[in-house]
Structure 1
Amino acid sequence: MTELAEQSRATNLPQVDAILRRGQVRTLEDFAALISPAASERVEQLAGHSQRLTQRFFGKAVRLFAPMYLSNECVNVCKYCGFSRHNDIPRITIPVTKVVEQAERLARQGFRSLLLVAGEHPKWVSNGYVADCIRQTLPIMPAISIELGPLETVEYAPLVDAGAEALLVYQETYYQPTYEELHTAGPKKYFAWRMDTPERGYEAGFRRLGIGALLGLHDWRYEALAVAAHAQFLLRKCWKAQVSVSLPRMRPATGGWQPNPSYGMNDRELVQTICALRMLLPHVGITISTREPPSLRDGIVPLGVTLMSAGASTEPGGYDHFDENQWKPTREQPGEQFHIADERSPSAIAAMIRSHGYEAVWKDFDQALVTAPSPALAPA
């Protein structure tokens, strides 16, 4: 990927124009050209191609979901993460009854798609606990995704059988030397173990797989190329699953870690990269989270994204401290993973999406449609 990233920086405008005239991105080399500095002069044309492809394969719709943090207990040391075990924050794991209460609060805001998130801690975030959270919230939230520490296939299978339909795992950085420098203790320090997680999840029966990189840890062009290549691999290897990608940017968090400024990606470059991803991966979902500012999220709706979080709290139990009328936190959230950038309510986000002529989709999957047991538990 380093060579492709260098090739991207060396791309000239005639090369970019040739790809745009063709209207197709056939290779990673084409994708590298479209995220080049030269291609920044053609973002409007790139966005036009991306918009047409997105409408062709996804319609004029954006799926909304809410993250719910179950626990910020974590055994890992990750230099950039608010949940890192060396950070002095209130450690919280919410009981299943509280998970259900928070799901009900989110349902009153309109949500029917829920992402359950937790730090990596075998004592507090056990398989049985997470499976119980899924089972108890499924009548309220028919579409449940999980974002946890990587597990074995046989450990994922009970979560699928409990009702989870999607597995999200972010590699954080695909550049292994940087990965090893930033993850110094705990199971997360094993690069390959994390990289192979989507395949283990697929074997367990997840019908959706989400991957991504956290931009700001290494050169963003390298990361974008690696995410694109990983998505291409999963489309071939895990061909029955729906694949989605995300490129969230670093946000301030407890611990005060600061990324190398040279790794920063501005708003225009993020839009450029999302549109280039759409041209390379026309059938893949693209997620944009509340890490991004309102102005960017508003502008990107018609251009390529298909999934969007809204009204988020990144603290376990955080929705207990939201005013349900305004959907604003009523106190500071000292146990949060990071500070969000878009604090608008779910209803405001839905209204914004509709103002673009798009539909805000609260639910596009129901567990009642799935009757077969997890393949990892099916008899041989």
Structure 2
Amino acid sequence: METVSVNEWIRNVIKPEQVEKYLNKGQDFLDENLIKQTLLANQQPDKERIREIIAKSKELVRLDPDETAALLNCQDEELWQEMYGAGLQIKQNVYGRRIVTFAPLYISNYCVNSCVYCGFRTENKASRRKQLTMPELEEEIRALVAKGHKRLIMVYGEHPSSDVHYIAETLKVAYSTKEGHGEIRRANVNAAPLAVEDLEILRDVGIGTFQVFQETYHHQTYQKLHPRGLKANYLWRLYALHRAMEAGVDDVGIGALFGLYDWKFEVMGLLLHTIDLEEKFGGVGPHTISFPRMEPAINTPFAEKSPYIVNDDTFKKLVTVIRLSVPYTGMILTARESARVRNDVINVGCTQIDAGSNIGIGGYQEDSLAYDKQQFILGDNRSLDEAIRDMAKMGYITSFCTADYRCGRTGGCFMGIAKKGKIHNLCMPNAILTFKEYLLDYASDETRAAADYLINQELAALPSDQVRETVIKMLDRINQGERDLFL
């Protein structure tokens, strides 16, 4: 595609008036001076204050910037151990002993952007470009369904060929493709920031959560790392999820790519993003927060030489602070991380992981890892079955549940239940049911042996005899061949 055509497309996509309405007196919500002053004012917090903040978080109350800054500045390892424990307690109190699992499905790697850390950047000649046709997409989905997947995050390069109409068509294919007992019941989307009217199209097709990650909230760093393309417009991206909420896509996901700028600043940016969404949309903020670390990518030296690379210990700390800062929100731990890191960090409060992941275009059908068709290099290459077995050994049920979305428990409804710490009363019964489906239809003998006991354990922990009896009856129906039963 010619540069003029790309530039014209970018001009047509961006609608400044859909950003200006959300500014605060002409300024965006990311006040860098506020962040820096808040971090500076909360250096060397004492033990009593940290423990007071932890106690507030356990009450499922979102923290203020000063409180989050105090946690970020904590230097006491004993207190960090207390925070790790609190993160797990909060997660289990809100979401139960379950881990939601999904697969990333990369649809296209054509991209107009020049992100210096990304293998998909438009100048990268080492990246082999591919966009799935609808028949190819159907085969990819069949390959995923055959492994047991029920939930996807569908990922698109930012390019005219991946416009809203292409995305809508791929969503229709995702929902209509069946394979044996299997099907996709929830398709989330990670794509270019869209205008309100385009987001309404995706809403009507049945989009799940809409993800747009700011990557870095630091204005100057953002412009340096995103010099050209649609992504060069900081504000269009920053308010992408405000527009989604306005369009009625009421489950949205925010995220930062750690390694681009100072990790403490980025955690504060995620908090300010959450606060602004909640203030403008009646207390409803992000459905999920993601915190990927930058990983190596083909022909992309910046990814390995950034001065802001986050080590494993710091990564665990920043994930913990996010959990304490926004205690009721889902948190996604991706397969960018190694299995070792994920098995450790999941215990500080994560709620979702991808598993059996392949981020090459067409990679599931080919069953290969083609690095020249990947955005970056994955750290965890376990199969879905292996990941589920490991989670079971850690005491977690793997959930493929999508009942909340299909019952209308999204946006304000979901958040209202989650903030009261009661969403697990609905989600754990449904997790048990989807877990049983997986064990019957897809699990290896080894995984079935390691995981079966969890169903009886979680049945015993259900909140009432009535719910328990209902789930037991549904389990019997699943044993008889029925599928997709939920509360």
Q: Normalized against structure 1, the TM-score is what?
A: 0.89
**Pairwise CA distance, 1:222:** 0.3
What's 1:249 paired with?
293
Percent of residue pairs identical: 27
Q: Secondary structure at the match of 2:287?
A: strand
Query: 2-side partners of 1:249 and 1:227: how far apart?
Result: 15
- Once the two structures are overlaid, the 10-residue window that deviates more, 194-203 or 104-113, is 104-113
- Pairs within 5 Å for 1:1-380: 1-7=35-41, 10-14=43-47, 17-19=50-52, 22-24=55-57, 26-88=63-125, 89-122=127-160, 124-139=161-176, 140-238=183-281, 239-240=283-284, 243-254=287-298, 255-258=300-303, 261-322=306-367, 329=368, 332-365=370-403, 368-369=406-407
Contact 2:297–2:303 (CA under 8 A) maintained in structure 1? no
* Structure 2 alignment gaps of length 5 or more: 1-34, 177-182, 410-487
Query: 2-side partners of 1:21 and 1:162: how far apart?
Result: 41
**Pairwise CA distance, 1:22:** 4.0
Contact 1:20–1:46 (CA under 8 A) maintained in structure 2? no
Question: In structure 2, do the counterparts of structure 1 residues 367 and 135 end up closer, same or farther at CA, with 3 Å as the change threshold?
Answer: farther
**Pairwise CA distance, 1:288:** 0.5
Q: Secondary structure at the match of 1:311?
A: coil
**Pairwise CA distance, 1:366:** 7.0
**Pairwise CA distance, 1:50:** 1.1
Contact 1:310–1:349 (CA under 8 A) maintained in structure 2? yes
**Pairwise CA distance, 1:186:** 0.9
Aligned length: 363
Code of the residue aligned with 2:345 in structure 1: it is: I
* Alignment deviations for residues 78-126 of structure 1 (CA, whole Å, 9 cap, x no partner): 111110000012110011111121111111211111111011111x212
What's 1:377 paired with?
none
Code of the residue aligned with 1:249 in structure 2: it is: R
**Pairwise CA distance, 1:60:** 0.9
Q: Secondary structure at the match of 1:248?
A: coil
**Pairwise CA distance, 1:237:** 2.5
Contact 2:168–2:201 (CA under 8 A) maintained in structure 1? yes
- Once the two structures are overlaid, the 10-residue window that deviates more, 300-309 or 86-95, is 300-309
Contact 2:155–2:189 (CA under 8 A) maintained in structure 1? yes
- Once the two structures are overlaid, the 10-residue window that deviates more, 337-346 or 232-241, is 232-241
Query: 2-side partners of 1:98 and 1:332: how far apart?
Result: 17
Q: Secondary structure at the match of 2:331?
A: strand
Q: Which protein has greater RCO, CA pairs closer than 8 Å, 6+ apart?
A: 1
Code of the residue aligned with 2:162 in structure 1: it is: V
Query: 2-side partners of 1:28 and 1:102: how far apart?
Result: 43
Query: 2-side partners of 1:55 and 1:21: how far apart?
Result: 15
- Once the two structures are overlaid, the 10-residue window that deviates more, 308-317 or 61-70, is 308-317
Query: 1-side partners of 2:163 and 2:186: how far apart?
Result: 21
Code of the residue aligned with 1:278 in structure 2: it is: R
Contact 2:260–2:306 (CA under 8 A) maintained in structure 1? no
Q: Higher Cα Rg: structure 1 or 2?
A: 2
Query: 1-side partners of 2:406 and 2:303: how far apart?
Result: 45
- Once the two structures are overlaid, the 10-residue window that deviates more, 356-365 or 155-164, is 356-365
Question: In structure 2, do the counterparts of structure 1 residues 64 and 178 end up closer, same or farther at CA, with 3 Å as the change threshold?
Answer: same
Question: In structure 2, do the counterparts of structure 1 residues 339 and 178 end up closer, same or farther at CA, with 3 Å as the change threshold?
Answer: same
Q: Secondary structure at the match of 2:143?
A: helix
Question: In structure 2, do the counterparts of structure 1 residues 192 and 222 end up closer, same or farther at CA, with 3 Å as the change threshold?
Answer: same
What's 2:427 paired with?
none
Query: 2-side partners of 1:128 and 1:77: how far apart?
Result: 24
Query: 2-side partners of 1:356 and 1:20: how far apart?
Result: 28
